[in-house]
Amino acid sequence: MNRGRSVDAFERAKRVIPGGVNSTVRAFKGVGGTPVFVAHASGCTLVDVDANAYVDYVMSWGPLIVGHAHPAVVEAVRDAATRGTSYGAPTEVESALAELVVAMVPSAEKVRFCSSGGEATTFALRLARGITGRSGVVKFAGCYHGSVDPFLVSAGSSALTIGLPDSAGVPANATADTLVAPYNDLAAVRALFEARGRDLAAVIVEPYVGNMGLVLPRPGFLAGLRALCSEFAALLIFDEVMTGFRVAPGGAQEREGIRPDITTLGKILGGGLPVGAVAGPAALLDHFTPDGDVFQAGTLSGNPLAMAAGLATLTELRRPGVYERLETAGSRFTQGLDAVFGAHGVAHQSTFRGSMVGFFFADEPVTDLVSAKRADTRLYARFFHAMLDRGVYLAPSQFEAGFLSLAHDDAAIDRTIAAADEALAAITAAV
Ligand SMILES: *Cc1c(COP(=O)(O)O)cnc(C)c1O
State the first-to-last Cα distance of the chain, in angstroms, to the nearest integer. 22
| H-run or E-run covering 231 | helix 221-231
In-domain check, residue 77: yes
Sign of the alpha-carbon dihedral angle for 344, 346, 350, 356: negative
DSSP state of 294: B
Domain span at residue 31 reads: 1-38
| H-run or E-run covering 234 | none
Do 23 and 149 belong to one domain?
Answer: no
Question: Does any ligand 1 atom lie closer than 6 A to the CB of residue 116?
Answer: yes
Torsion, Cα 404 408 414 416, to 10 degrees, reads -60
Q: What is the pLDDT of residues 176-192, one digit of tens each?
A: 999 999 999 999 999 99
Do 26 and 124 belong to one domain?
Answer: no
Domain count across the chain: 2
In-domain check, residue 330: no
Q: What is the pLDDT of residues 75-105, one digit of tens each?
A: 999 999 999 999 999 999 999 999 999 999 9
Q: What is the pLDDT of residues 353-382, one digit of tens each?
A: 999 999 999 999 999 999 999 999 999 999
Return d(Cα 366, Cα 351) in angstroms, integer.
10
Q: How many angstroms separate the alpha carbon of residue 211 from the centre of ligand 1?
A: 9
Say whether 287 sits in a helix, a strand or coil: coil
Confidence check: pLDDT of 431 > 80: no
45-48 vs 53-56, strand pairing mode: antiparallel
Tell me, what's the pLDDT at 160? 59
In CATH, what number is assigned to the domain containing residue 140? 3.40.640.10
Do 24 and 92 belong to one domain?
Answer: no
What does pLDDT average to over the chain?
Answer: 96
In-domain check, residue 215: yes
> Which residue among 267, 278, 399 is best mutated to probe the pocket of ligand 1, counting the most ligand atoms within 8 A of its Cβ?
267
Q: What are phi and psi of 194, to 5 degrees?
A: -70, -30
Q: What is the pLDDT of residues 196-248, one digit of tens each?
A: 989 999 999 999 999 999 999 999 999 999 999 999 999 999 999 999 999 99
Question: Quick one: which atom of ligand 1 is closest to the CA of 121?
Answer: 10
Return d(Cα 240, Cα 389) in angstroms, integer.
33
Cβ-Cβ contacts under 8 Å for 322 (sequence gap 6 or more)? 316, 406
Question: Does any ligand 1 atom lie closer than 6 A to the CB of residue 210?
Answer: yes
> Which residue among 58, 144, 243 is best mutated to probe the pocket of ligand 1, counting the most ligand atoms within 8 A of its Cβ?
144
Tell me, what's the pLDDT at 430? 78
Do 238 and 292 belong to one domain?
Answer: yes
Tell me, what's the pLDDT at 111? 98
In-domain check, residue 251: yes
Q: What is the pLDDT of residues 136-169, one digit of tens each?
A: 999 999 999 999 999 998 887 666 555 444 788 9
In-domain check, residue 351: no
Do 32 and 179 belong to one domain?
Answer: no
Instruction: Look at 40 and 171; give whichever has higher pLDDT.
Output: 40
pTM across the whole model: 0.97
Question: Does any ligand 1 atom lie closer than 6 A to the CB of residue 359?
Answer: no
In-domain check, residue 390: no
Return d(Cα 53, Cα 47) in angstroms, integer.
4
Do 171 and 116 belong to one domain?
Answer: yes
Q: Nearest C-alpha to atom 10 of ligand 1 is from which residue?
A: 145
Q: What are phi and psi of 149, to 5 degrees?
A: -50, -55
Tell me, what's the pLDDT at 166? 75
Q: Nearest C-alpha to atom 15 of ligand 1 is from which residue?
A: 242
Q: How many angstroms separate the alpha carbon of residue 134 from the centre of ligand 1?
A: 24
Question: Quick one: which atom of ligand 1 is closest to the CA of 240?
Answer: 13
Do 146 and 261 belong to one domain?
Answer: yes
Confidence check: pLDDT of 427 > 60: yes
Do 22 and 120 belong to one domain?
Answer: no
Peptide bond just before 290 cis, omega within 30 deg: yes
Q: What is the pLDDT of residues 3-37, one digit of tens each?
A: 999 999 999 999 999 999 999 999 999 999 999 99
Question: Does any ligand 1 atom lie closer than 6 A to the CB of residue 242?
Answer: yes
In-domain check, residue 421: no
356-360 vs 402-403, strand pairing mode: antiparallel
Question: Quick one: which atom of ligand 1 is closest to the CA of 143?
Answer: 13
Kindly state the percentage of the chain with pLDDT values over 70.
Answer: 98
Distance of CA 376 to the CA centre of its chain: 22
Q: Which residue from 380, 373, 379 is spatially nearest to 395, judged by alpha carbons?
A: 380
Tell me, what's the pLDDT at 199? 96
Q: Which residues are catalytic, by number?
A: 144, 239, 267
Return d(Cα 401, Cα 399) in angstroms, integer.
7
Return d(Cα 85, Cα 300) in angstroms, integer.
10
Do 169 and 285 belong to one domain?
Answer: yes
Return d(Cα 246, Cα 249) in angstroms, integer.
7
Question: Quick one: which atom of ligand 1 is closest to the CA of 146?
Answer: 4
Q: Which residue from 363, 367, 375, 417 is spatially nearest to 394, judged by alpha carbons?
A: 417
Return d(Cα 207, Cα 143) in angstroms, integer.
10
Contact 276, 119 (CB under 8 A): yes
